[in-house]
Amino acid sequence: MSDEELQRLVECISRDVFHKPFRHHAIFNKRLRTTGGRYKLSNHFIEINPLVIQLYDEDELIGIIKHELCHYHLHIEGRGYKHGDDDFKKLLKSTNSPRHCKPLAERQAKSSVIHIYRCISCGLEYQRRRKMDCRKYRCGKCAGEITKVN
């Protein structure tokens, strides 16, 4: 799907679902990582993540467009366009728009413990995912010096 086809689809959805014209631009943005789309307040553009088309069906794309059009029309009218605003929630419900899109990026599993530190005085062990500078920290139990075990 090209940007021109996306523009026509957004205009059509705006006219059919919201009964209002969409007078700005809708484009694909490859730089979006975790979100399906966004509405830009500064220029009123709607940007859609092209991964939506690759990973999901047309219904998901239409849902994201309707969600962003809710932001768009409310902002243009000077009403509450943010996720927490009542106007936004009501418009989402009345247009059958989704509150969230399906996940686009796999969440990275939290790594297991890879750094083990031990207090020289009392022997208390500290397990950490991130490396720490032993010179900056002391034991929380006895205030002794900490060293890296492995």
State which amino acid sits at residue 112. S
Q: Does residue 68 have an active-site annotation?
A: yes
Question: What does each C-alpha distance from 120 to 60, 81, 83 come to in angstroms?
Answer: 57, 57, 51
* Pairing label, strands 115-119, 125-128: antiparallel
Q: What φ, ψ does residue 59 adopt, rounded to 5°? A: -60, -40
- Which one, of 126, 2, 13, 116, lies nearest residue 59 by Cα? 13
Distance between CA atoms of residues 133 and 98, nearest Å: 46
Distance between CA atoms of residues 52 and 81, nearest Å: 23
Of 68, 77, 106, 125, catalytic: 68
Query: Catalytic residue numbers?
Result: 68
